[in-house]
Structure 1
Amino acid sequence: MEQEPFLNAVQTVDATLKFAEARMTEGIHGPRPQEIESARAAVQSAEASLANATLIYNRRASLIDGHERATSREEADTTKADRIVAEANLKKAREDLSLLLEGTRSEQKQQQHAEFEAQRANLALLRYRLSRATLKAPSAGVIRTRILEPGAVVMANSPVFTLALTDPQWCRVYVDESDLGKVRMGMPARITTDSYPGKSYRGWVGYISPVAEFTPKAVETPELRTNLVYQTRIYTCDPDQELRLGMPATVTLSLHEETRTPPASLSDYCQSP
């Protein structure tokens, strides 16, 4: 399916996730030593500026209070304002240093971690949607029909291909209710077809339906079609891939042959002697 919109969305959220991760890491590590030293130097500079402004202010204030009138009132007011600015700068520099020494607040760390987790979950969702844009067969098989052509608009739950499953291969047979007691799971079987006279295929009983049903119309049987039967699946070994879907076959069960434990997989059974 068309994947470009999904790819663009994944790339966008991936970049956002990296940014959130960097912010979270920065909050955990806190300020660098160089930043702390720079803040301390700013405090020292602000202290020196305040001391100099205070010295100048006191000097000019004493000249005004005396009778010498060596300086004007305007210059005294200016030096007073400079001292106030220097005090404010020192206060700010000390607060900046204090913030760096305390590090990142716990609430900020929690917020940064929550943002990171939200972006990671969003990225996982977008990657899942991207993976769903690739059609994957549920099992190995052969494509029988391509229903839609390239470029078609597909709605949800719309079929695109029909698939014939080839692994495992099995024959569907129906057992009369009177013969059901003779059939057991793992019972050996032989399968023959009209296409290959004289050739038989190994098999075993792999499924017996727990529910009875009426004989399907397509089943040829000498008994009355209203008889109740049980669907049974005979798993088949076909290493040469000669059997085809829908091919009529005759199944012969070995009633007197020892019944095996149902194998874990068809390939294990076919490789055994």
Structure 2
Amino acid sequence: MKKKYIPIGLVLVLLIGIAIYYFYPRTTTGKVNTVGTIEVHQYDITPRSSGYIEGLNVDLGSRITAGETLFTLSEPTTNTALDAAKASQAQGAANLADLQAGAREDQIKAYKALVDSATVSRDQALREFNRYEALYAEDAVSAQVRDQKQQAYDVAQQNLAKATADYQELLQGTRSQQIAAAQSQVEALKANVASAQSKVEDLMMKSPVNGLVLTKNYNKGEYVKAGAPVLTIADMQDAWVHIYVSTEQLALIKVGDKAQIKVDGLPGQIFEGYIERISPEAEYTPRQSITKTERHNLVYKVRIKVNNGQEILKPGMPVDVVIP
């Protein structure tokens, strides 16, 4: 039986082919093909105050617009505080208006009547004191009685002085210092109303964006604490995909590069996107003794901004990503 020999030339060709395959630098197409998952910007709707949910106007899957009232809380003391603040402001404004308008004729007559009455009382007290002073000089009354009449006269004199001063101030008009003080008080009362109004508005939670209700954690009538997420709203048009690229692929891409996003359930439809951000660090920190083989396992996180204007792509949807 004859032995079969493999031609030396064929062996050399095979060896050269293997060497080229393993050691000759292979060229790349310049594309990154990978997979990712759709993510969207989500907003937790949390009340600033605690209370019972009085009105809940949306449900899971509801489409809402920016500024739309999502729910309201019932907190009676907040509304009561607002009513009290408004009443105080109205009273302060009325007082200021009176000061700015000056004295009315009926006020002037009333103050003049007080002066006249105080004058009569003073004159009567003076006559009484003079009479008892004379009786005391004749030892007809005690010093105690005389002193009582003296005190009565002093009080009547003080009352007349005050009534006269008030009447003169009324005739001269309100002093500028009084008006300034009243104006400052009105401004402070306005601030109190604004603060109370803000607390009432905090009981009405509105949507910050156009979006979709993803989660609903409470129902009407339930008590919710301040800061607890009642709803989660997704801005479906603010969508992106996170992908991970190798060290070799990292050298082929840059921020701003276009990307194409495809979905298995939508054959032939391509969603446009672009590289919005590339992580400056590898996903895993390399060890000092890392080998050449292990370096190929390092990946970098890349954020792809996706055009989802028609809101076809949903959060959590797996997609294929191609970066030309």
**After TM superposition, is the score higher than 0.5?**
yes
Q: How far has the Cα of 1:146 moved from its partner?
A: 1.2
2:89 aligned residue: 17
Task: Kindly indicate whether residue 312 of structure 2 is the aligned counterpart of residue 237 of structure 1.
Answer: no
Q: Distance in 1 between matches of 2:250 and 2:90?
A: 64
Q: Distance in 1 between matches of 2:296 and 2:207?
A: 38
1:202 aligned residue: 272
Q: Which of the numbers 66, 70, 80 marks the counterpart of 1:8?
A: 80
1:31 aligned residue: 102
Change over 3 Å in CA distance of 1:167–1:131 after alignment to 2: farther
Change over 3 Å in CA distance of 1:211–1:99 after alignment to 2: farther
Contact 1:214 1:229 in 2 (8 A): yes
Describe the superposition over 1:12-34 as per-residue Cα deviations: whole angstroms up to 9, x where unpaired. 2112112112223333x151464
Which letter maps to 1:168? D
| Corresponding pairs, count | 216
Task: Kindly indicate whether residue 223 of structure 2 is the aligned counterpart of residue 153 of structure 1.
Answer: yes
Describe the superposition over 1:195-237 as per-residue Cα deviations: whole angstroms up to 9, x where unpaired. 111110111222333444249xxxxxxx989933332222222
Describe the superposition over 1:249-272 as per-residue Cα deviations: whole angstroms up to 9, x where unpaired. 111123xxxxxxxxxxxxxxxxxx
Identity %: 31
Which letter maps to 1:234? I
Q: Distance in 1 between matches of 2:207 and 2:250?
A: 35
Contact 2:237 2:307 in 1 (8 A): no
TM-score by length of 1: 0.62
Q: Distance in 2 between matches of 1:122 and 1:101?
A: 34
Q: Distance in 2 between matches of 1:225 and 1:242?
A: 38
Greater share of residues in strand: 2
More relative contact order in 1 or in 2 (CA 8 Å, sep 6+)? 2
Question: What does 1:91-106 align with in structure 2 at a 5 Å threshold?
Answer: 94-105=164-175
Which letter maps to 1:10? L
Structure 1 gaps of 5+ residues are 58-86, 216-222, 255-273
2:233 aligned residue: 163
1:250 aligned residue: 320
Q: How far has the Cα of 1:191 moved from its partner?
A: 0.8
Q: Secondary structure at the match of 1:170?
A: strand
Q: Secondary structure at the match of 1:209?
A: strand
Say which is worse superposed, 196-205 or 155-164, in terms of deviation. 155-164
Change over 3 Å in CA distance of 1:229–1:20 after alignment to 2: farther
Change over 3 Å in CA distance of 1:101–1:118 after alignment to 2: same
Contact 1:36 1:97 in 2 (8 A): no
Change over 3 Å in CA distance of 1:252–1:38 after alignment to 2: same
Say which is worse superposed, 158-167 or 96-105, in terms of deviation. 96-105
Describe the superposition over 1:78-110 as per-residue Cα deviations: whole angstroms up to 9, x where unpaired. xxxxxxxxx999866653342024433455445
Q: Distance in 2 between matches of 1:141 and 1:149?
A: 20
Aligned-CA RMSD value:
4.0
Contact 1:140 1:165 in 2 (8 A): yes
Describe the superposition over 1:102-147 as per-residue Cα deviations: whole angstroms up to 9, x where unpaired. 4334554454334323322222222221122122334332212211
Which letter maps to 2:96? M
Q: Distance in 1 between matches of 2:224 and 2:208?
A: 19
TM-score by length of 2: 0.53
Q: Distance in 2 between matches of 1:234 and 1:24?
A: 62
Change over 3 Å in CA distance of 1:172–1:126 after alignment to 2: same
Change over 3 Å in CA distance of 1:15–1:89 after alignment to 2: closer
Question: What does 1:162-241 align with in structure 2 at a 5 Å threshold?
Answer: 162-214=232-284, 227-241=297-311
Change over 3 Å in CA distance of 1:94–1:164 after alignment to 2: closer
Describe the superposition over 1:20-51 as per-residue Cα deviations: whole angstroms up to 9, x where unpaired. 12223333x151464687489769x95xx99x
